[in-house]
Structures are given as structure tokens and as C-alpha cells.
Amino acid sequence: MKPKVIIIRGPGTNCELETKNAFEYVGANVSLIHVNNLLSGEERIDDYDILVLPGGFSYGDDISAGKILSVKIKKLFSDFGKFINSNRPLLGICNGFQVLVKSGFIPENKNSRQTVTLATNNCGHFICAHVELQVNKKSACIFTKGLPEKISLPIAHGEGKFVASNRVLSDIKNKNLDALTYIRNPNGSAGNIAGLCNEKGNCFGLMPHPERNFLVYQSLCQRKSGETREVGWRMFKNAVDYVK
């Protein structure tokens, strides 16, 4: 049986179709569900095997990126917590990462408070570029398993600068929660952090877009081996294989 994926959408999300296509390509059944359908009880995330918060600019990024959607997600906090605690994969891409951070899901803490943020890039404007990333091989992150030590993914964000206190940053580093780091930091992120997971490794948020570097023709690298798949394919496949 194919794993069931729920991609939560709302006003301003704009990467849900690419993410849906990616999960379908690696063998999942995917549903695009508006957050309001979850709030009304019409849909339940407990009915799914994988949960995704896609990229985009939910609610126009009013107030700050991902903040309004995070307020709505907070109303589903117990459902999200149950999902994560049941070891099912939860992925937040770009705006989805911002939502996870501002909802208090990552980094984990006993009071489920927001302890870090993603702020305006140091350059002061939106960045759209391919970046080189270091994969933390000590991380428990299920999405990055089997990836090379160095990978390339595109970014597209105006508020991607990871901000954390020295204490929180030290805890993240000591526990190897920094699953992905920038090799050349494009936005001023503390600790060069590009992606962050929980201690179990099943909840993962990242600013780069794996759905945009899914097949080789989307990559800046020239492949000569005949391989057609890229880094993004492995990330999505890891989640599906983990559920199976």
C-alpha cells in the first residue's frame, strides 16, 4: 500500500504542486488539504503517514514569514505533537520551516516555545540561487540519509537568516540537530544552519527547496553517469521508504 501524504496549503503557498509531484514520483498517494479543513475537523492529519508544510508565502508573509500560518497550526498543536511522537515524518520546506520554528516544534523544548527564528537576510533582500550545503552525517535526520557529504539545492527566500542565542545554538550543535549547513553562508544564518531536525530525526525543516532539484535536468551539475535523479529525489524517497 502506498504511504499517504498530506500537504497543508493555504493562501500564498505556491510550492505544493511541485512537492505533490515529487512525492507521487517516489510512490506515495498525496492529498493537498487547506489548513481550514483541518481546523474544522473535516480532515485529520492522523489519517496520514507523512505531513508536509510546503514553500511559498503563506498569508503573504504578513507580520513575518510563516507567522500567521503558525498561529493556525498552534490550534492543531496536540495533533502535530501526536504525529511527531508517533515517529511519522514531518517536512517543512522554506516557508514550512519558518512555520515549524514559529510554532515551537523545532528546536524541541519542554515548553514547546519558539526559541529561534528566521529573519531578513543580511543583504536585506530576497535571494534566489543555488547553494552548496554540508550534510551532517551524525544527524539522525531521516530525510538526509544516504546523501553525499556535499550537495547543492536552490534557495528562494527573503527571511532565511537563522537566528538563535548562543545557548540554543550550542545545544543544536551538540545534539547534531543541524542536519544541513551552508558551505558559503548566503544570508547570515547563525551556525551556517540551513536545515534543522528534532532529536528523533523525523521532523525536519530546511530553507532550500529539494522539490526544485529533484531530477538531473534541474541541477546545475553536469552528470555523465546516466543517472537521472538528484538530491531532492533521495530526500523524498527516504521519507517514503521510512514509512514503508
* Active site members: 94, 209, 211
Q: Which region holds residue 10: left if phi is over 0, alpha if psi is between -120 and 50, else beta?
A: beta
Report the alpha-carbon distance of residue 30 to residue 240 in Å, rounded.
11
Report the alpha-carbon distance of residue 108 to residue 118 in Å, rounded.
16
Report the alpha-carbon distance of residue 176 to residue 197 in Å, rounded.
9
- SS3 label, residue 155: strand
Q: Which residue has the cell 503557498?
A: 13
Tell me phi and psi for residue 203, to 5 degrees: -115, 120
Report the alpha-carbon distance of residue 166 to residue 181 in Å, rounded.
17
Q: Give, for 154, the enclosing helix (H) or strand (E).
A: strand 150-157
To 5 degrees, how large is the angle CA 187–CA 193–CA 199? 155
